[in-house]
Amino acid sequence: MRPLTRRQLLALGAVGAGAAAAGGAGLWLTTGNGPGFGYTGGEDLAEPQVLASRGGVLELDLTAAPARIQVGGREASVQAFNGSLPGPTLRVRAGDTIRITMRNGLQAPTNLHVHGLHVSPQGNSDNPFVSIDPGGSFDYEFTLPEDHPPGTYWYHPHRHGHVAGQVAAGLYGAIVVEDPDPVPVTRDRVMVVSDLSLDASGNLAEVDQMQQMMGREGQIVLVNGQLRPQLRAAPRERERWRIINACPSRYLRLALEGQGVRLLSRDLGRLPVPEDVTEVVLAPGNRVELLVDTRGGSSTLTAAPVDRGSMNAMMSGAMRGDNVPGGDPVELLTLAVSGSAGTDPGPVPEGQPLRDLRNEPVTAARTLDFAMGMNGNMSGGMGMGSGQGTMMAFTINGREFDPERLDETAAAGTVEEWTLANSSPMDHPIHLHVWPMQIIQDGGRDVTRPTWQDVVNVPARSQVKVRVAFDDFSGRTVFHCHILDHEDQGMMATVQAR
């Protein structure tokens, strides 16, 4: 990577100005769910079709294809699994086997990633190197360990170079691994949060180079494919909200004023004791499970803007206003609580203690630097994507992704300590496939209790230390930035446990 030249600064400024003039969806458009976009909302929340395992097996067909659906009262052309936005919710248990025949009805190659599941990365399991050509199909099989953590997970395409576009178009769905010790609740809700940009004809809007470089954010924010849906409940009920951030780049600072809210889980597993919270922040790919103890009145679940860094420092003032949070929080849904009080569901049992890798020997330590800079191949070209002629280089330890290269090797069955170092001016949420990460140190602050996630946000110009137990499986997989445009442009690397 090279420092910015005057010519490149001017080019970047021109691209940013063009995006603003075009009113493109993303970081230069005040996003929101208001009537100015011509959408309507307020319908009752609908949940996707549920497909549950039986006798330890779940078998299904999953087709990724264009679909014409209703979004906010308007006809919209999207891409969807089985014609539904989101795709069907898969409910399984630890020890189950999931068999999926994946069919590609798109005009580009695709594949399937079961995000957060601790399953094999090899063969026809959670293998990110599989590529399904248009018109083709592939038979996946995932077997969960008997002690797999319960929680809320999700699935989406992971074909390098096409991930951001396909997820932004609507290809995602939820996975629930049931808790062996059920939490008593009045109802259990799945909420997949996504964002979407459509043109005046209801077709997917074009994304420009600057939006890809910053990480695209859609014009409207949806919950289960709906705009500002409504929920109804009685006082003194307890609901379990499983919330997935399926946005390609958008961070969500969630708040629900007027209700009792406790954090039950983040990404995987369950906290031993739920924690009272007033807000939670989800990076792209994160999930949370919230216990909502209902109180009379109407409340709104909002997503406030999040400052995820800026490129101003890199561009030396060539562009202004990029990626700076502003505007009002986005209203995601409303909860109306009225009527006679419900029956108290009873106390929440304590969860199992979480494993603490700080008490286990570390066999290796490595530092991984996530960086952004001008691509040395840029002269006059302004094309995007990994490879020659790109405007920006998105790298890990100075290298863009190469699926044929092995970047890191770990010994199966050992614990490693990774320092995730972000030398760039933007936050990067880092996702490791197959093996979750225990956060040990966040910036200069030690994390004193076991905190497990499979997407760990690394703030700009900062670092986070994690430990990884390479248990149960061998094989090669990837880790990457979950701002999916950054992944597609090279911020991904391979790791093999053997």
What pLDDT is stored for residue 7 in this prediction? Answer: 46
Q: Please tell me whether residues 268 and 401 are part of one structural domain.
A: no
Cross-sheet strand order for the sheet of 113-115:
50-52, 89-92, 173-177, 151-156, 113-115
Per the structure, the complete domain to which residue 153 belongs is given by 50-177
CA 351 – CA 107 distance, rounded (Å):
45
Q: pLDDT, tens digit, for every residue of 318-367?
A: 333 334 445 689 999 999 999 999 888 999 999 889 999 999 999 999 99
Q: Please tell me whether residues 193 and 333 are part of one structural domain.
A: yes
Q: Please tell me whether residues 272 and 366 are part of one structural domain.
A: no
Which tokens belong to 39? 């959408």
Residues of the chain where predicted confidence (pLDDT) is lower than 50: 2-31, 34-36, 313, 315-325, 378-389
Quote the number of domains for the chain. 3
CA 414 – CA 436 distance, rounded (Å):
14
Does residue 42 belong to any structural domain of this protein? no
Does residue 282 belong to any structural domain of this protein? yes
Are the CB atoms for 306 and 251 separated by under 8 Å? yes
Q: Please tell me whether residues 312 and 411 are part of one structural domain.
A: no
Does residue 147 belong to any structural domain of this protein? yes
Does residue 224 belong to any structural domain of this protein? yes
What pLDDT is stored for residue 19 in this prediction? Answer: 38
Q: Please tell me whether residues 329 and 417 are part of one structural domain.
A: no
Domain boundary among 123, 145, 177: 177
Give pTM, 2 decimals. Answer: 0.91
What pLDDT is stored for residue 374 in this prediction? Answer: 78
Q: Please tell me whether residues 371 and 487 are part of one structural domain.
A: yes
Q: Which residues contact 440 (CB under 8 A, 6 or more apart)?
A: 357, 358, 417, 446, 447, 465, 466, 467
Q: Please tell me whether residues 426 and 470 are part of one structural domain.
A: yes
Q: pLDDT, tens digit, for every residue of 159-169?
A: 999 999 999 99
Does residue 393 belong to any structural domain of this protein? yes
Q: Please tell me whether residues 333 and 465 are part of one structural domain.
A: no
What pLDDT is stored for residue 311 in this prediction? Answer: 59
Does residue 22 belong to any structural domain of this protein? no
Domain boundary among 177, 212, 244: 177
CATH code of 280's domain: 2.60.40.420
Q: Please tell me whether residues 325 and 224 are part of one structural domain.
A: yes
Domain boundary among 302, 337, 372: 337
Does residue 306 belong to any structural domain of this protein? yes
Largest CA distance in the chain: 69
Q: Please tell me whether residues 241 and 318 are part of one structural domain.
A: yes
Q: Please tell me whether residues 164 and 68 are part of one structural domain.
A: yes
CA 23 – CA 174 distance, rounded (Å):
32
What pLDDT is stored for residue 184 in this prediction? Answer: 96
Q: Please tell me whether residues 157 and 80 are part of one structural domain.
A: yes
Does residue 4 belong to any structural domain of this protein? no
Answer positive or negative: Cα dihedral of 303, 304, 308, 312. Answer: positive
- Residues of the chain above pLDDT 70, percent: 86
